[in-house]
Amino acid sequence: MASGIVVSLQEEVMCPICLELLTEPLSLDCGHSFCQACITANNMVSMNDPDEDRRCPVCRISYEPGNLRPNRHVANIVQRLREVKLSPEVEQERHLCLRHGEKLMLFCEEDREVICWLCERSQEHHGHHTFLMEEVAQDYQKKLQEALEKLREKQLEAEELEVKVRADIAAWKDQIQRERENVKAVFQKLRKNLKYEEVKEMQKLKRKEEVGLRNLADSEHVLIQQSQLVRNLMSDVERRLKGSTMEMLQDVNDIMKRSETLTLKKPRTLPKGQRRTCSALDLTDIQQVYNGEECYLSGCLWNSCDGGKTGRRLQFLDVDRDSKAQILCI
């Protein structure tokens, strides 16, 4: 009963020109209401013929464009009707074309949508191949089933990639932690003048860790979104396959396009070459210098600088790309 009232109200607030629910309704002096865009277009047509009065498209009574007034009461009713959804039972019983009110019985192959017999004769579907829904139901059920199988495969692939990225994240954290501990252990053996370089190396590792984790986190986020998209598509397809023929074919073009164009984005991973660069500093030479054994770097032989007997001190200069410490005896 309530659904019947809603349908009746929808008919009362339909624009006589476009046969859709009124949008920004304007009322004439005669009492008829039209969409603002529709009645404005009607005015433009009348302006092309100065000798013809502007008349109401329904009752043909003359009107002045300046007397058009917004009908907020009707606009509020339309807004409420747009928010109302009929029960599934009523929708299933109706199966009516929203534009023409006729029963939906045909399927347009070009547009992949369910239409009524008036839609078939409209300019929009002129020359298109149309079939009874029952004639194409089995074929599209097969297509949707195939699409579902492909989506399941992509879902499995997405889950595997997601697991791989999470494993890479854990391995990357472990590797960085090991390198951090190694760097700390090495620098603890050095003198105070190495403190600055220790801090610098730790900062480099921190930035490297942040960049690597950020890339991996971005990949994980993308994979989670892809997984959710695939699950949503699967849910939509499964719902259609379990529902009626009408529900299966309604807007089937959209779900087919989304399924066919869905492509999983490969995650960004850390190149093996980049991982090999994350090695701890080789400070053996520095340790030997501090133990009074030798000094070969920067062209300085330990013997030529008196083996440190004159009290000359060592100054730490820099670490080159090969992670070799450069020492200068001064």
Please give the angle made by the CA atoms of 254, 259 and 260, to the nearest 5 degrees.
100
Which residue do the tokens 């032989």 mark? 301
Spatial CA neighbour of 297 closest among 311, 277, 283:
283
Query: Which class is domain 95-128?
Result: alpha beta
Q: What's the pLDDT score for residue 297?
A: 40
Q: What's the pLDDT score for residue 163?
A: 93
Q: What's the pLDDT score for residue 320?
A: 43
DSSP line for 98-156: TTT--B--EEETTTTEEE-HHHHHSGGGTT--EEEHHHHHHHHHHHHHHHHHHHHHHHH
Query: Quick one: which H or E segment has residue 326?
Result: strand 325-329
Q: What are the sequence ranges of the domains in the chain?
A: 1-94, 95-128
Give the span between the Cα atoms of 133 and 117, in whole angstroms: 12
Q: Which residues contact 75 (CB under 8 A, 6 or more apart)?
A: 22, 24, 25
Pick the CATH number of 1-94 from 3.30.40.10, 3.90.1150.10, 3.40.630.30, 3.50.90.10: 3.30.40.10
Q: What's the pLDDT score for residue 319?
A: 41
Along the 330 residues of the chain, how does pLDDT read in single tens digits? 455 677 778 888 888 888 788 899 999 988 899 998 888 887 776 666 655 678 888 888 888 888 889 999 989 988 888 777 555 555 545 578 888 888 888 999 999 999 998 898 888 888 999 999 888 888 888 988 899 999 999 999 999 999 999 999 999 999 999 999 988 887 777 666 667 777 888 888 899 889 888 888 888 888 888 889 889 989 988 888 888 888 888 888 888 888 888 787 777 666 665 554 445 555 555 555 455 444 434 444 333 344 444 444 444 444 444 444 444 433
